Amino acid sequence: VVDAEDRALRAGSKRECHLNDNIDGGLLHRAFSVFLFNSEGKLLLQQRSDKKITFPLFWANTCCSHPLYTPAELELENALGVKRAAVRKLGHELGIAAEELPLDKFQFLTRIHYVAKEAGTWGEHEIDHVLVIQADVTLNPEPNEVAEARYFDEAELDHFFKTAEQTGTKVSPWFGHIKEKFLSKWWAALRSGDLEACADRHTIHRIPPASEATADGPTIPLSGTDGSSAADVSESEAIGGATNSTN
């Protein structure tokens, strides 16, 4: 749990942090979003598993989750805390070996504060630390976490978004916003070898609340997870039992 300036306040369970009733009361937590590009410059996306409590079967960036409330994953220097959390969750969700994800290859670009509520019980209210890494990795997705993983070049992703409504594709609110406002600049900088030029580490971009998402029908908003205790568990297990401190 953090304040509006991203200062850690205390531990919070996944259930506590994702209940819309608590979000309506202003409860805010820290998260991270990884954008993994391969050596060809293609971006790895995942479709969230239907077992997910929040935004099941929505497409999102490579990995979206939360640091644990531990000294190692709370460390702010060089964003080491969220980088360590990213390595942990990329392994858990996509089966990527830690050796393929050196911490010094991650670039922390910026932070995004957004709200995204689903109709009903669950939602997101996060300050999201954006991490970019370029690496060729071996995938072995965990079915309880990931329904599908797929690489896109920029033109393919543009087509994916343009045809989303007619194909019934659902895209997570946070990824929809990042795609609209930031991703093309990051992609261009990656191609030119100057991703550091896109870094804006002291800014927290405040995004107006997204419309409530529904379980059926496409969602491609123009504005706009998971941690566990020391042993990773599925999101449904974590939220269902949910007294473990994870954020």
Q: What are phi and psi of 118, to 5 degrees?
A: -85, 155
Catalytic residue (one of 63, 64, 145, 198): 64
Residue with token string 């990527």: 96
The question of whether 198 is a catalytic residue gets the answer: no
CA distance 122 to 178: 21
> 186: number of CA atoms within 13 Å, CB side?
26
Neighbour-count burial for 62-72, b at 16+ CB within 10 Å, e otherwise: bbbbbbbbeee
Catalytic residue (one of 93, 126, 145, 235): 126
Query: Using CA atoms in the order 137, 77, 205, 239, what is the torsion angle rounded to 10 degrees?
Result: 60
- Which tokens hold the place of 34? 């990884």
Neighbouring-strand partners of residue 158 = none
Residue with token string 């300050």: 127
Q: How does DSSP assign 130-188, residue by residue? A: EEEEE--------TTTEEEEEEE-HHHHHHHHHTHHHHT-BB-HHHHHHIIIIIHHHHH
Please list, in sequence order, all residues whose beta carbon lies within 8 angstroms of the beta carbon of residue 4, skipping any fewer than 6 positions away: 28, 113
Strand pairing report for 59-60 and 204-206 = unpaired
The question of whether 17 is a catalytic residue gets the answer: no
Residues with a known catalytic role: 64, 126
